[in-house]
């Protein structure tokens, strides 16, 4: 009992002092009964011995507890040091990456010319807005802007498996540039008049009124373009090339902008985004070469990375998707298109590389290529390289611009010889094309 009483209250000595006082008073009492005195004295001595033993046990237990706590603290410190030593390389690596990113950003900002700095920052903000709904598509967004801002008003053909965000990116892109947007789903029974419009008899006026089709917009999404027959696909040829359509001999302008003279095609904004599924061939109609040549780029949409796919799971989550704030207007697009065409410089050497590359596909590489690239491909690569330089804040084109865009410009314009595909069964035709284009550019750049 005494041990339990004093184990946790080591400092409480008042009880012990009182006990000694009682024993002392009983021992010194004037009562002459010696036997009682001896008994009390013996009790006091026993009590004193018991108390001393208890106190020594308490001290021993506390010492052991202190030693255990110290050992545990040493073990914890050892584990923490081990964790720190284990994570030290990771921390240092992350710090190195952050320093490299910071230095690259600083270097990139220093290389931005004053003339195209507003465009660079506008495009950066536009990517941030689009990333609210589409994740991991920065390269595709760049290609969209390159085609839209080029002086030849390029168009893009997007190819990818279902669910690769082709339609979602097109809608988000139309919101960020704040242009009129329409979507047309191509089907086997779709007629040209369903696309460009037709004249309908008005019984009230006894005249034919023209009813516009979905092509009368600024950004047109042609979903699954290879689902419709060739006659419907061909209805887009005039629209994509000249930003106008002709119905019953009357010309109708597309993508008009209110602040400019719309008689000039360069003052209008008409941008076609066409999609197609590469794995389904039944019930589809392959685009003819003349139709493919109208597209500046053919882009291949990959599957999203793991981080992007996790973000997709939390995108809606029962709520309305985040709104995208506009960063451009149709007036901005026309103005920036003019400035890029006028102020971005392309050296004579790079001009020569563009022309020589296209001529190589028609002459030097004719043993590997069944069909080469024509002058429209030269113009597309030339204009695309100028826009790529501008959106990166530069006023001159470099060799990296040509190398970054050459495959996207040429992969739908040149056709491999069947023997080349048969001789490389382990390599996809697109990878063969990419290697041929890269090797050709390398040879041209080494000759300079």
Separation of alpha carbons 402 and 378, rounded Å: 11
**CATH architecture under which domain 137-328 falls:** 3-Layer(aba) Sandwich (3.40)
Confidence of residue 274 (pLDDT cuts 50, 70, 90): very high
Question: pTM, whole model, 2 decimals?
Answer: 0.74
Judged by DSSP in three states, 286 sits in coil
The predicted pLDDT at position 358 comes to: 94
Q: What is the CATH number of domain 344-448?
A: 1.10.8.80
Residue 87 pLDDT > 90, yes or no?
no
Angle at CA of residue 335, ends 179 and 374, nearest 5°: 85
Q: What is the edge-to-edge ordering of all strands in the sheet holding 297-300?
A: 181-185, 219-223, 271-276, 156-159, 297-300
The predicted pLDDT at position 444 comes to: 87
Question: CA 42 → CA 1, 16, 26, 37, 45, distances in Å?
Answer: 20, 16, 12, 9, 5
Interval 183-203 mean pLDDT: 91
Confidence of residue 37 (pLDDT cuts 50, 70, 90): very low
Letter string b/e over residues 252-284, b meaning 16 or more CB atoms within 10 A of that residue's CB: bbbbbbeebebeebebbbbbbbbbbbeeeeeeb
| Mean pLDDT for the chain overall | 81
- What does DSSP assign to residue 263? T
Residue spans of the domains in the chain: they are: 2-80, 137-328, 344-448
Q: What is the DSSP string of 375-409?
A: HHHHHHHHHHHHHHHHHTT-SB--HHHHHHHHHHH
Higher pLDDT, 201 or 7: 201
- What does DSSP assign to residue 223? E
Please classify residue 166 by burial: count the beta carbons closer than 10 Å to its beta carbon, then call 0-12 exposed, 13-18 middle and 19+ buried: buried
The predicted pLDDT at position 337 comes to: 94
Distance of CA 117 to the CA centre of its chain: 22
Residue 30 pLDDT > 50, yes or no?
no
Interval 72-89 mean pLDDT: 59
Give tens-digit pLDDT for 141-154: 999 999 999 999 89
Confidence of residue 58 (pLDDT cuts 50, 70, 90): very low
């Amino acid at each position: 009992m005494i041990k339990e009483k004093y184990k946790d209250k080591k400092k409480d000595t008042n009880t012990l002092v009182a006990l000694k006082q009682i024993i002392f008073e009983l021992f010194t009492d004037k009562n002459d009964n010696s036997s009682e005195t001896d008994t009390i004295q013996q009790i006091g001595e026993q009590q004193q011995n018991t108390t001393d033993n208890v106190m020594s046990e308490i001290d021993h237990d506390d010492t052991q507890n202190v030693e255990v706590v110290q050992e545990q603290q040493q073990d914890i410190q050892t584990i923490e040091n081990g964790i720190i030593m284990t994570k030290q390389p990771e921390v240092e690596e992350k710090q190195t990456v952050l320093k490299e990113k910071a230095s690259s950003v600083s270097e990139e900002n220093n290389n931005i010319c004053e003339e195209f700095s507003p465009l660079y920052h506008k495009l950066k903000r536009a990517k941030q807005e689009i990333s609210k709904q589409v994740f991991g598509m920065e390269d595709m967004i760049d290609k969209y802007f390159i085609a839209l801002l080029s002086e030849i008003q390029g168009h893009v053909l997007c190819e990818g498996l279902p669910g690769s965000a082709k339609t979602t990116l097109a809608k988000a892109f139309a919101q960020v540039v704040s242009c009129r947007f329409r979507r047309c789903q191509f089907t086997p029974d779709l007629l040209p008049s369903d696309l460009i419009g037709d004249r309908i008899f008005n019984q009230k006026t006894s005249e034919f009124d023209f009813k516009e089709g979905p092509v009368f917009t600024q950004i047109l999404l042609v979903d699954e373009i290879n689902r419709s027959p060739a006659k419907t696909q061909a209805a887009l040829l005039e629209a994509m090339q000249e930003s106008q359509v002709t119905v019953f001999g009357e010309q109708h302008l597309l993508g008009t902008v209110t602040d400019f003279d719309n008689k000039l095609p360069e003052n209008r904004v008409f941008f076609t985004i066409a999609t197609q599924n590469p794995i389904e061939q039944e019930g589809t109609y392959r685009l003819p070469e003349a139709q493919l040549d109208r597209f500046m780029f053919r882009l291949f949409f990959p599957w999203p990375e793991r981080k992007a796919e996790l973000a997709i799971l939390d995108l809606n989550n029962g709520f309305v998707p985040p709104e995208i704030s506009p960063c451009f207007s149709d007036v901005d697009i026309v103005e920036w298109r003019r400035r890029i065409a006028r102020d971005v410089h392309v050296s004579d050497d790079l001009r020569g590389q563009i022309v020589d590359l296209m001529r190589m596909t028609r002459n030097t590489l004719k043993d590997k290529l069944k069909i080469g690239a024509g002058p429209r491909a030269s113009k597309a690569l030339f204009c695309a390289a100028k826009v790529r330089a501008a959106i990166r804040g530069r006023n001159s084109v470099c060799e990296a611009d040509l190398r970054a865009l050459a495959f996207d410009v040429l992969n739908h314009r040149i056709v491999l010889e069947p023997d080349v595909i048969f001789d490389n069964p382990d390599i996809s035709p697109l990878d063969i094309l990419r290697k041929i284009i890269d090797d050709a550019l390398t040879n041209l750049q080494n000759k300079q």
